[in-house]
């Protein structure tokens, strides 16, 4: 019997959470080391999958399948292809770094790390599931940990509204989940299976509701998670009040669940509907890009600035999906990975600036480069990657999205949308460079004299993310060669 790589990767963080929860009165350091051990073990196995993945063939690999609910033909069904494997690696990578980012957490340490590890298992399950009902259950798993982590360890009053932000996140997610469940059941009644591989090959006929209605029931849930304007308003609040590690996970991988699901489910299972409504998806993408970038310019809180920038950057993912070309879909997938590591680094750095200066408000900061030279360098690298500087992963992914979109023939106006999207890059350069100038350069603020720079654990975290940004930027084929294997079957399904 082959080693169950995916089961181990998905459930190792859960096992770690259970171990932490059952330990009688463990010390804070013990809890942190246990959490790090289990997340690193999951990361090591994910890296092993990367090297064992057969790049000469498409389809799903490392498949594990067992009957689960016989009466409904539901299976415990896991597998990865070129689309999901990068997301699994991203999740395990950021999961390990989230533990390091949380190294100074002292409030209810045991519960905090147990919830954090459970959150990682939920996200990994989403990216590994090939049964729609199993996918839905893993999708729901992340709800409770996110609520608890924001509501208990988030920014307290009067600076924050952590309970409000946590409940708002739950309400948006539950509404999306309800719509998704209706869509999943409609697919089941149409095809008689929850098997995502079979559904991706089936010629579906509407049974209860029209196929476009099914598409938009599913899309609505994923658009909330991505998020797409105007379903984005939960995101800035959640980011502003979440603890740093949770913001890293939220921006790094939870948003990617939305983009991944649009490609894996909406586009793959309902390709004709995706083609028919591509102009609408592209319009939503450009509104998200330009609106997110414009609102970002107005932000004075570092966390809200990066949160709104995520709305803009996820618009590029949706643009690449809407173009429905091989290059644009590859670019959209690479953009999800790239945004994960770039924004993960940005939120980690904002957390460091706040911990050391006790302020996130841009007008109160200034001249921090003299006190925090290492953090300044890391922030500059992350910022330049975010605006798409060549040799960074941001450039590689956005270039593929724009190239694939501009050369697509999915509908007549796609080139206009692409040009409008490129304007978003110009605005991004403006708010990133302006933010760096105001926070780190200019005359130093006397109130921050003697503020500490990054310590050893923080340098390890920053260096790991910066290395990933540069490696993917210099050699994007490291991922695109794998991603292509996941996109090719989708292109066949689309008939292009």
Tens-digit pLDDT profile for residues 240-251:
889 999 999 999
The mean pLDDT of 468-490, rounded to a whole number, is 94
For residue range 101-132, list pLDDT tens digits in order: 999 888 889 999 999 999 999 999 999 999 99
For residue range 286-337, list pLDDT tens digits in order: 999 999 999 998 888 899 999 999 999 999 999 999 999 999 999 999 999 9
Distance CA 166, CA 241 (A): 8
Q: Half-sphere exposure (CA, 13 Å, Cβ side) for 73?
A: 10
Residue 38 confidence (pLDDT) above 60: yes
Distance CA 422, CA 72 (A): 47
Bridge partner residues of 78 (DSSP): 64, 129
Distance CA 216, CA 207 (A): 16
| Chain position carrying tokens 């999740």 | 91
Distance CA 34, CA 443 (A): 44
Distance CA 26, CA 64 (A): 35
Region of poorest pLDDT, from 162-166, 220-224, 395-399, 492-496: 492-496
For residue range 91-106, list pLDDT tens digits in order: 999 999 999 999 988 8
Residue 42 confidence (pLDDT) above 50: yes
Distance CA 177, CA 125 (A): 16
The mean pLDDT of 154-174, rounded to a whole number, is 89
- pLDDT of the residue at 335: 96
Classify 129 as helix, strand or coil: strand
Residue 1 confidence (pLDDT) above 60: no
- pLDDT of the residue at 442: 78
Identify the band that residue 496 occupies on the pLDDT scale cut at 50, 70 and 90: low
Using N-to-C axis directions, what is the helix angle for 5-22 and 28-52, rounded to 10°?
180
The mean pLDDT of 444-470, rounded to a whole number, is 89
Classify 203 as helix, strand or coil: coil
Distances (CA, A) of 127 to 7, 13, 222, 249: 12, 15, 13, 14
Distances (CA, A) of 291 to 225, 285, 308, 394: 17, 10, 9, 20
pTM over 0.95: no
The mean pLDDT of 270-278, rounded to a whole number, is 94
Q: How many CB atoms lie within 10 A of CB 201?
A: 13
**Quick check: bond before 463 cis, omega within 30?**
no
- pLDDT of the residue at 390: 93
């Amino acid at each position: 019997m082959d080693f169950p790589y995916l089961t181990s990767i998905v459930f190792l963080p859960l096992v770690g959470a259970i171990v932490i929860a059952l330990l009688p009165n463990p010390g804070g350091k013990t809890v942190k080391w246990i959490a790090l051990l289990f997340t690193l073990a999951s990361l090591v196995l994910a890296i092993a999958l990367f090297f064992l993945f057969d790049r000469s063939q498409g389809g799903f690999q490392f498949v594990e399948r067992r009957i689960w609910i016989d009466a409904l033909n539901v299976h415990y069904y896991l597998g990865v292809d070129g689309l999901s494997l990068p997301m699994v690696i991203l999740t395990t990578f950021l999961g390990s770094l989230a533990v390091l980012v949380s190294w100074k957490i002292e409030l209810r340490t045991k519960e905090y790390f147990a919830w954090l590890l459970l959150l990682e298992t939920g996200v990994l399950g989403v990216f590994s599931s090939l049964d729609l009902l199993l996918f839905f259950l893993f999708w729901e798993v992340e709800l409770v940990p996110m609520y608890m982590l924001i509501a208990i360890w988030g920014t307290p009053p009067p600076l924050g509204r952590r309970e409000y932000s946590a409940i708002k996140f739950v309400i948006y997610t539950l509404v999306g989940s309800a719509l998704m469940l209706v869509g999943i059941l409609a697919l089941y009644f149409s095809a008689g299976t929850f098997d995502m591989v079979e559904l991706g090959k089936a010629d579906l006929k509407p049974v209860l509701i029209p196929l476009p209605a099914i598409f938009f029931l599913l899309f609505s849930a994923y658009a909330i998670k991505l998020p797409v304007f105007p379903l984005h308003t939960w995101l800035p609040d959640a980011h502003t009040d979440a603890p740093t590690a949770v913001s890293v996970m939220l921006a790094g991988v939870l948003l990617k669940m939305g983009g991944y699901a649009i490609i894996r489910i909406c586009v793959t299972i309902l390709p004709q509907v995706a083609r028919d409504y591509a102009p609408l998806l592209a319009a939503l993408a450009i509104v998200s890009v330009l609106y997110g970038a414009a609102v970002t310019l107005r932000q004075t809180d570092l966390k809200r600035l990066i949160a709104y920038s995520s709305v803009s950057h996820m618009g590029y993912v949706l643009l690449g999906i809407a173009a429905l070309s091989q290059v644009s879909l590859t670019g959209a997938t690479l953009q999800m990975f790239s945004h994960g590591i770039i924004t993960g680094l940005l939120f980690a750095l904002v957390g460091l600036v706040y911990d050391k200066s006790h302020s996130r408000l841009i007008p109160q900061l200034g001249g921090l480069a003299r006190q925090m030279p290492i953090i300044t360098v890391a922030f500059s690298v992350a910022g330049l990657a975010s605006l798409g500087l060549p040799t960074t992963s941001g450039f590689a992914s956005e270039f593929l999205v724009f190239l694939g979109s501009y050369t697509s023939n999915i509908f007549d106006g796609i080139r206009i949308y692409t040009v409008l999207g490129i304007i978003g890059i110009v605005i991004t350069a403006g708010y990133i460079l302006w933010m760096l100038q105001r926070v780190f350069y200019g005359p130093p603020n006397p109130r921050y004299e003697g503020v500490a720079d990054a310590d050893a654990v923080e340098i390890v975290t920053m260096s790991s993310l910066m290395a990933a940004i540069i490696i993917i930027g210099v050699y994007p084929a490291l991922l695109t060669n794998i991603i292509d294997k996941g996109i090719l079957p989708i292109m066949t399904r689309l008939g292009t």
